[in-house]
Amino acid sequence: MSSRLPSKDRLSKVLQSVAIIVFGFIVSGFIMLAVGYDPIAAYSAMFFGSAEKGMQGAFGGIYGITSTLREASFIILTGLAAQIAFSAGVFNVGVEGAMYLGAFVSFMCAYVFSAPAGSALGVLHALFCIFAAMVAGLLWMCIPAFLKIKRGAHEVVTTIMLNYVATYLTELLVVKFFLPTTGIPPGGIITPEISKSAQIPQIDFMGAKLNLGIVPTILVAVVMYIVIKKSVLGYSIRVVGANPNAAKYAGIDVGRIILFVMLAGGAMGGLAGAIAVQFTEYRFDQSFSPGYGISGIPVALIGRLDVLGIILAGVFMSALHVGAQSIQPVTGMPSQISLFIEGVIVFAAAMPGAFDILRTYIRPKGEKNE
Amino acid sequence: MKSEAHIEVEDIHKIYPDGVQALRGVTLDFQRGEVHGLLGENGAGKSTLMRILFGQIRPTGGRILIDGSQVDFGSPRDAISHRIGMVFQHFMLVSSFTGFQNIMLGLETGRGSKTQGEIRRSATALADRLGLKVDFDELVEDMPMGERQRVEILKLLVRNVDLLILDEPTSALTPFETEELLKIMKRLKEEGKTIVFVTHKLREALSACDRITVMRKGMKVDTVPSKSVDLRSLARMMVGREVLSEVRKGAANFGKVLLEVSDLVAFSDTGREAVKGVSFQVKEGEIFGIAGVAGNGQKELVEAITGLRRAESGSVRVDGVEITTKSPREIYDLGLAHIPEDRLSRGVVLPLSVKDNLLLGLQSKPKFEQRMIVKERAVEENARTLIRDFSIAATEKSPVKSLSGGNIQRVVVAREFSKSPQLIVASQPTTGLDISATQFVRGELLKMRDERKGVLLVSSELEEVMGLSDTVAVMYEGKFMGVKRPEELASDEVGLMMGGVRVEQ
């Protein structure tokens, strides 16, 4: 299908993206110079850490790598959720809300029920909790989807508002029903631990704990690749995204496609929530997400709406984020500046993808013949 | 009232960037205080000329004189400062603003600008004097079309415009509103304003105008005082004396009825009744042509037949099956193919490749789908075959947006014919195509007919409808003005029907 680009075109896209990322690093470097820090030292700390300060950066040791992979699994998922929506011309910002709701439902199912850990029933329990989280995310996304299809409410507005509803709703539930047993800080707004049977163990990997969240993430990526590139559904999604009029003319039900991409995004958000609870924290921590759901949008753009690209972009963004935390201890640069630099690089990296979208959805208005 | 030349245009040429020659040297003048009709078919160049006069587009050659001195407009703002204003067919109003807010828009700032109260007083005085009934405090979205138009006119008058261009001003109005407008035009004329009345409606042109300029194919045919002409001679000037039947085709041999439309009523996007009870049949082996100036309901008619627009009432049967409640896909499954009028916005998906565009509408056919997966090999095979058979100058992987207009239409035609339809609805199938692509498309339609398929051809190109069709209907304001065999139609009769004059059937 057409999205399998001729290799030359694909190569030029990769080069373009790499060039602009390098540009982002250079600009950030000048900013650091201007405020009096050594950019080389900062970037080195970011990616490789510093042994004497005990920091590993994003890739400078086994702890760095496992942290990077853990974060990557979340934002690859939310990136894929953003991508499938973008492909149909929908701007789904509601993955964060779906993720919170999914996390809470996953927690409830994992907390209320239990089964003998390690038994077949235990595995079933764990799978059931993950499934329930996905359904929760999916149902949650029905709200903005129906508002859009039936009433024409723009999804950006409704999904952003619903994100607040979901995060505060879960916070309320935790504060009301679980905090009395778990106590407030230093733990934060957290629930008790879930049943052992629903916990997916972190495996020992050269002394560090490797989170298995990357496994379902890669599975989803493979399914997405097949759906978007090989299936009739994917073809229909791309037609709707590029030209809804032509889609209607071709007998494609545009409303159903929009519904599908939004609900699929909701399910992926729900899955990300289950990964946070069952693969990572083993409880519901109200502050588990530093904005994974929103990060999906730049990840989808940096990955140029391509499944493989999104996997790379997810690892890249997660490395930036994890690595930035090493800059302050190593170089003494205030964390505000490292956050700022992270932002500059992400912004630069997302530009080509953003232009791709502008080119597809906004057509130049030239002189028109009579 | 007579008779100084207010505005003269001299030898205006316009060639669009895509090479279309819209104006080929037009010279004419508008006298101060006259209503000047500008009459012509689609593509005659009326709108292009008026947009040049209003500063929206620049001419490729020629000059414009106001009261004898040359002017050069870079934008509509320049035109308005030279007291030229235009009311477009689709109004340029902010619908969530009130009438007065729309009039004020753009006047609220700047040195020496008047206060709101002053503008309101002068607008009220103008409106009263000219009988422009406008509720200043009503939202535009709540106003009927006629009132919106009066807001547009008032907006220009407040800006001291002397020359008003009204582009097809009656097309959105009810007959009563049209009467009102004609009265307003008369009063404006008495105030010494010059009015250019762009239209294709013969009767209105004759009754409202002092002089009429007829244009055809980017040139002026003539300017005549309206007292010295009648409907028939105007129609003849508008349509010309083209050789109407030069396409060779075999004798007609009709079979069973493939498409039966009865008393079909459909509304336009703005909720106006665009198709007002149309009935006709298309039989096997027949090309049924619908002529008429674009915007007279043809688009809505075609969309109602192809399931893209809801029919308000009446029935449409494809091969005996009622389809007014069916989806486009169900209708295609009955053997209908559709070459849409607006090929870029409906017929193709520009960023996708040629092969993916050739799949459009066929994506769920067993030939191309197996267990929800696209059969890539079949799609490529299909693309290669169609590219060869229909001489599309592209590879199967080229994105359609890189193709020329003619090749894009070949993609659409190839795809629709590859559905092996019983009935094809072709809407403006050759608009904007070069000669060879035009010949090709027409040839394919004739081939369909000779294979005893049904063809419904909707085109505002008269030559095409007359040359290809076995039966011709002329559509005007949502109705058929007459249905005849093309040999039986004199060219002035067609012109009359296109201009809204019913001819004995």
Question: What's the pLDDT tens digit per position in B409-465?
Answer: 899 999 999 998 999 999 999 877 776 778 888 989 999 999 999 999 999 888 888
Among B213-227, B407-421, B477-491, which is the least confidently predicted range? B477-491
Q: Do A1 and B308 touch (CB under 8 A)?
A: no
- Nearest by CB: B350 against A230, A233, A243: A243
In the predicted structure, residue B3 carries a pLDDT above the cut 60? no
**B328 in A contact zone (CB under 8 Å):** yes
Region B48-52: what's the mean pLDDT?
A: 92
- Judging contacts by C-beta atoms under 8 Å, the chain B residues touching residue A249 are 306, 308, 328, 338, 340, 346-347, 360-361
Distance from B271 to chain A by nearest Cα, in Å? 19
A221 — pLDDT class (breaks 50, 70, 90):
very high
- β-bridge pairing A203-205 and B479-484: unpaired
DSSP string of A86-106, one letter each residue:
HHTT----THHHHHHHHHHHH
Tell me, rounded to whole angstroms, the distance of Cα B395 from its chain centroid.
33
DSSP string of B155-170, one letter each residue:
HHHHTT-SEEEEESTT
Most confident stretch, A166-180, A221-235, B144-158, B489-503: A221-235
Tell me, rounded to whole angstroms, the distance of Cα A54 from its chain centroid.
29
d(CA A125, CA A106): 11
Among A168-177, B112-121, B451-460, which is the least confidently predicted range? B112-121
pLDDT, position A367 = 35
Q: pTM here?
A: 0.79
Residues A9 and B351 sit within 8 Å (Cβ to Cβ): no
Distance from B273 to chain A by nearest Cα, in Å? 22
CA distances from B17 to B22, B43, B50, B63, B173 (A): 11, 16, 18, 20, 34
Q: Quote the percentage of chain B above a pLDDT of 70.
A: 95
In the predicted structure, residue A108 carries a pLDDT above the cut 90? yes
**A358 in B contact zone (CB under 8 Å):** no
- Here the contacts of A32-41 (C-beta below 8 Å, separation 24 or greater) are A32/A333, A32/A337, A32/A341, A35/A337, A37/A331, A37/A332, A37/A333, A37/A337, A38/A331, A41/A330, A41/A331
Go through chain A and tell me how many residues it has: 370
d(CA A20, CA A15): 9
Tokens 């001419």 identify what position?
B59
In the predicted structure, residue A5 carries a pLDDT above the cut 90? no
B353 DSSP assignment = B
Residue B188: closest CA among B230, B157, B148: B157
Q: Do A231 and B361 touch (CB under 8 A)?
A: no
Residue A316 token pair: 């890249």
A149-161 per-position pLDDT tens digit? 999 899 999 999 9
pLDDT, position B2 = 43
Which CATH architecture fits B244-335+421-505?
Answer: 3-Layer(aba) Sandwich (3.40)
Residue B469: closest CA among B292, B289, B293, B290: B289
d(CA B187, CA B84): 18
A144 — pLDDT class (breaks 50, 70, 90):
very high
pLDDT, position A369 = 34
- Report the SS3 class of residue A211: coil
Region A184-191: what's the mean pLDDT?
A: 72
Tokens 């680009």 identify what position?
A5
- Sequence-distant (6+) residues with CB within 8 A of B374 are A1, A230, A231, A232, A235, B359, B363, B368
**B429 burial type by CB count under 10 A (0-12 exposed, 13-18 middle, 19+ buried):** buried
Q: Quote the percentage of chain A above a pLDDT of 70.
A: 93
d(CA A241, CA A252): 12
B227 DSSP assignment = G
Which residues in chain B (421-480) have CB-CB distances under 8 A to chain A? 432
Region B195-217: what's the mean pLDDT?
A: 90
Q: Do B22 and A253 touch (CB under 8 A)?
A: no
CB atoms within 10 A of CB B441: 22
B336-367 per-position pLDDT tens digit? 999 998 888 889 998 899 999 999 999 988 99
CA distances from A259 to A3, A147, B1 (A): 22, 10, 65
Could you give the angle at which helices A254-274 and A292-302 cross, rounded to 10 degrees? 120
Q: Do A232 and B42 touch (CB under 8 A)?
A: no
In the predicted structure, residue A366 carries a pLDDT above the cut 80? no
Distance from A121 to chain B by nearest Cα, in Å? 33
In CATH, the number for domain A7-361 is 1.10.3470
- Sequence-distant (6+) residues with CB within 8 A of A278 are A106, A110, A126, A129, A130, A194, A198, A199, A200
Distance from B99 to chain A by nearest Cα, in Å? 27
Of chain B, the end-to-end C-alpha distance in Å amounts to: 43
A78 — pLDDT class (breaks 50, 70, 90):
very high
- Nearest by CB: B349 against A243, A251, A366: A243
Distance from B110 to chain A by nearest Cα, in Å? 29
Q: Do A246 and B345 touch (CB under 8 A)?
A: yes
pLDDT, position B109 = 65
**B345 in A contact zone (CB under 8 Å):** yes
pLDDT, position A186 = 61
CB atoms within 10 A of CB A237: 27
A258-268 per-position pLDDT tens digit? 999 999 999 99
Query: Candidates 3.40.50.300, 3.40.50.620, 3.90.1150.10, 3.30.1490.20; correct CATH number of B5-239?
Result: 3.40.50.300
A266-290 per-position pLDDT tens digit? 999 999 999 999 999 999 998 899 8
d(CA B227, CA B331): 51
**B46 in A contact zone (CB under 8 Å):** yes
- Judging contacts by C-beta atoms under 8 Å, the chain B residues touching residue A232 are 363-364, 368-369, 372-374
B377-409 per-position pLDDT tens digit? 999 999 999 999 888 888 989 889 888 778 898
Give the start-to-end residue ranges of the domains of chain B: 5-239, 244-335+421-505, 349-404+414-419
pLDDT, position A267 = 98
Q: Do A230 and B57 touch (CB under 8 A)?
A: no
B258-314 per-position pLDDT tens digit? 999 999 999 988 888 899 999 999 999 999 999 988 888 999 999 999 999 999 999
Q: Do B355 and A2 touch (CB under 8 A)?
A: yes
Q: Do A249 and B353 touch (CB under 8 A)?
A: no
Residue B451 token pair: 């294979």
pLDDT, position A234 = 95
Residue B457: closest CA among B346, B337, B358: B337
**A238 in B contact zone (CB under 8 Å):** yes
Give the start-to-end residue ranges of the domains of chain A: 7-361
In the predicted structure, residue B244 carries a pLDDT above the cut 60? no
In the predicted structure, residue A94 carries a pLDDT above the cut 90? yes
- Judging contacts by C-beta atoms under 8 Å, the chain B residues touching residue A247 are 349
B167-183 per-position pLDDT tens digit? 988 877 877 888 889 99
pLDDT, position B155 = 92
- Sequence-distant (6+) residues with CB within 8 A of B324 are B304, B310, B311, B314, B315, B316
**A2 in B contact zone (CB under 8 Å):** yes
Tell me, rounded to whole angstroms, the distance of Cα A241 from its chain centroid.
21
- Report the residue of chain B nearest A239, measured CA to CA: B349
pLDDT, position B110 = 59
Residue B46 token pair: 């009326």
**A250 in B contact zone (CB under 8 Å):** yes
Region B113-140: what's the mean pLDDT?
A: 88
Residue B139 token pair: 């939202």
Among B14, B56, B363, B380, pick the best mutation site for testing chain A contact (most A Cβ within 10 A): B363
- Sequence-distant (6+) residues with CB within 8 A of B195 are B34, B35, B36, B163, B164, B165, B166, B185, B188, B189
Tokens 């993206």 identify what position?
A17
Residue A307: closest CA among A176, A370, A217: A217
- ipTM higher than 0.95? no
pLDDT, position B243 = 43
Among B54, B343, B349, B427, pick the best mutation site for testing chain A contact (most A Cβ within 10 A): B349
| Helices (H), ranges, A191-334 | 214-230, 232-242, 244-249, 254-274, 292-302, 307-331
In the predicted structure, residue B246 carries a pLDDT above the cut 60? no
d(CA A175, CA B497): 77
Region A56-75: what's the mean pLDDT?
A: 91
CB atoms within 10 A of CB B407: 21
Residues B375 and A262 sit within 8 Å (Cβ to Cβ): no
Distance from B57 to chain A by nearest Cα, in Å? 8
d(CA A34, CA B440): 66
- Nearest by CB: A245 against B46, B346, B379: B346
Go through chain B and tell me how many residues it has: 505
CA distances from A35 to A29, A31, A32, A115 (A): 10, 6, 5, 57
Average confidence score pLDDT of chain B: 88
Tokens 């299936």 identify what position?
A231
d(CA B119, CA B111): 15
d(CA B185, CA A290): 66
Among B360, B376, B379, pick the best mutation site for testing chain A contact (most A Cβ within 10 A): B360
pLDDT, position B253 = 83
In the predicted structure, residue B251 carries a pLDDT above the cut 80? no
